[in-house]
Amino acid sequence: MNVKNFLIAGIVGGLVDFLLGFLFYGIIFKDSYPETLDIKLEFIFLGCITFGLLMSYIFIKWAGIKNPITGLTAGASIGFLYGLSTNFFMYSNRPLDTQNFIIDVVISIIIGAGVGAAVALVNGKIK
């Protein structure tokens, strides 16, 4: 595995994740996901970077994805499964809000697609 590609593509993917998350959760759906007083932005950032690195690892080590369109579709699939997983865990100890559940899964698909496209694009450009 090319470590340089893995790190650069993963960090770019993480930044895309962070920016799209801010757009969706911080601006577009701000009323559906109100900010809490104890939010730790640095942990959100680190979580985004980790997701970018995960996507980069999958694309570079296992799948060899370098085409942004292929990255977009693979990222959307991963985002769908990730969104379902996190929401199942999140609603395991609170009342189910079906609308927010669905919105969050759709947002996860879109963010996953963006991260996947970015990771694949960067992976394809770096030699």
- What is the token pair recorded at 63? 């799948």
pTM greater than the 0.85 cutoff: yes
pLDDT the model gives residue 99: 95
CA distance 124 to 127: 8
Q: For 3-30, how does the pLDDT look when each residue is reduced to its tens digit (9 = 90+)?
A: 999 999 999 999 999 999 999 999 999 8
What does each C-alpha distance from 6 to 10, 18, 33, 112 come to in angstroms? Answer: 6, 18, 32, 17
Please tell me the number of Cα atoms within 13 Å of 41 on its side-chain side: 6
Mean pLDDT throughout 36-45? 88
Residue 32 above 90 pLDDT? no
Q: What would the two tokens of residue 37 be?
A: 């007083």
State yes or no: pLDDT of 102 exceeds 90: yes
